[in-house]
Amino acid sequence: MKRNILALIRPWGGQVETANGRFFVRCPPGAEGEVEDALAHTLGIAGWARTRKCEKNVEALIGACVEEGKSLFGKGVSSFKIEARRTDKSFPLDSYGIRCRAGRAVEEAVPGLKVDVRSPQALIEVEIREKAYVFAMARRGLRGLPVGTAGRGLLLLSGGIDSPVAGFMMASRGMGIDGLYFHASPYTSEEARQKAIRLASILGRYALGLRLYTAGFTAVELRIKERAPEPWLTVLLRMAMMECAEKLARRIKAKCLITGESLSQVASQTVENVSCTQSRVSLPVLRPLIGLDKEDIIRRAEAIGTYETSILPYQDCCVLFSPPHPVLRGRAGEAGELYEKLELGPLIEEALDKKILEKCGFPAGDLHPVGLGLFGQ
């Protein structure tokens, strides 16, 4: 966690220290906004606040609380509550005593700011550690687990709404993310590829960088369209994508595949068709969105900042090659027989050999958390 924070704040001169379950982040004057924006994109943080540090005596502590109260009042706050935690039991006031003394002092010093223990507009929080710390208006972090604690996965990234959210959800469980995007020039435009790169860059800010591989899949798609029964086009294309993704995942030492599939959202995502597409791979396939409906997914996309990019009107290859009447409940055995007749192996290998690599959303500077095993060859 410390290494991840430092990677994100170092470009602004930030430093990180740890003590007794807390991270103390320091930055030069004027860089507070950039550092807080970095913290807002750091997975694994429960929350943070700009904090006043003072000497560990009653007078200094009360003075810091009064200053915090003045700051709150200046922001339009009219009611507050004091919360106190006392790790150092030698401090002369216990937690209740701190709340009483500090609350009374703030009320007396800041007319118009009143204590409200039931529904305050703001909390002034006190922690007694090796020093005394006072803060208010704490911000909630993204929580989850620090990126890099759960290995790496390869995300099948389209230009749609779902797959970036799936990648974020796995990153929030500690997984480093690489991405694979399938491009079918000239049937998909360069704008569609740039859209995928933009999505990878947004996701990369949370994942401490994302390597996006673009595989040209035109030959694969044309072979499928020429030789396969029309209702099976999408399922067979998904099978080819999964085979390609697994081959790449093994080369870059990713431990699993990640998709944005949601059960029965589209024809290729019925449980039978998902079984068909997964039949080509042996790596685990993680589907964090499988039980979410579209409104849930959209809300999450808006929260992480990918939605506006995802809805740009540039279609990916899956949309362009969708049959009007797709098979809904394919049988894995039949799908396998059809797939083998396509002889796609050499075309998939060619797509991998000619893949393009883009590095998206990496922290600025030269400090990357390579010790966490995020970035392979």
pLDDT class for 189, splitting at 50, 70, 90? confident
Phi, psi of 286 (to 5 degrees): -95, 130
* C-alpha 271, offset from chain centre: 27
d(CA 236, CA 267): 13
Q: Is 220 helix (H, G, I), strand (E, B) or coil?
A: helix
pLDDT at 373 over 70: no
Check if 2-140 and 152-372 are the same fold. no
pLDDT at 144 over 80: yes
| Residue 122 contacts residue 13 (beta carbons within 8 Å) | no
d(CA 272, CA 165): 24
CATH 3.40.50.620 fits 152-372, yes or no: yes
Tens digit of each residue's pLDDT (9 = 90 or more) over 232-250? 999 999 999 999 999 999 9
CATH 3.30.2130.30 fits 2-140, yes or no: yes
- For the chain, what percent of residues have pLDDT higher than 90? 88
pLDDT for the residue numbered 317: 59
pLDDT at 319 over 80: no
Cis peptide before 186 (omega within 30 of 0): yes
| Residue 187 contacts residue 224 (beta carbons within 8 Å) | no
d(CA 65, CA 52): 9
| Residue 315 contacts residue 160 (beta carbons within 8 Å) | no
- The CA-based angle 103-105-111, given to 5 degrees, is 95
- For the chain, what percent of residues have pLDDT higher than 70? 95
pLDDT class for 197, splitting at 50, 70, 90? very high
pLDDT at 303 over 60: yes
Rounded mean pLDDT of 307-311?
Answer: 95
Domain ranges of the chain: 2-140, 152-372
Rounded mean pLDDT of 109-134?
Answer: 95
Average pLDDT over all residues of the chain: 92
pLDDT class for 376, splitting at 50, 70, 90? very low
pLDDT for the residue numbered 52: 95
pLDDT for the residue numbered 374: 38
Q: Which residue has the higher pLDDT, 125 or 372?
A: 125
Burial class (CB in 10 A: 0-12, 13-18, 19+), 118: exposed
Largest distance between two CA atoms of the chain? 84
The answer, as to whether pTM is greater than 0.85, is yes
CA distances to 26, 163, 181, 373 from 32, in Å: 9, 32, 36, 30
d(CA 342, CA 243): 13
pLDDT at 313 over 90: no
Q: Which residue has the higher pLDDT, 316 or 369?
A: 316
d(CA 193, CA 182): 9
pLDDT class for 21, splitting at 50, 70, 90? confident
pLDDT for the residue numbered 372: 38
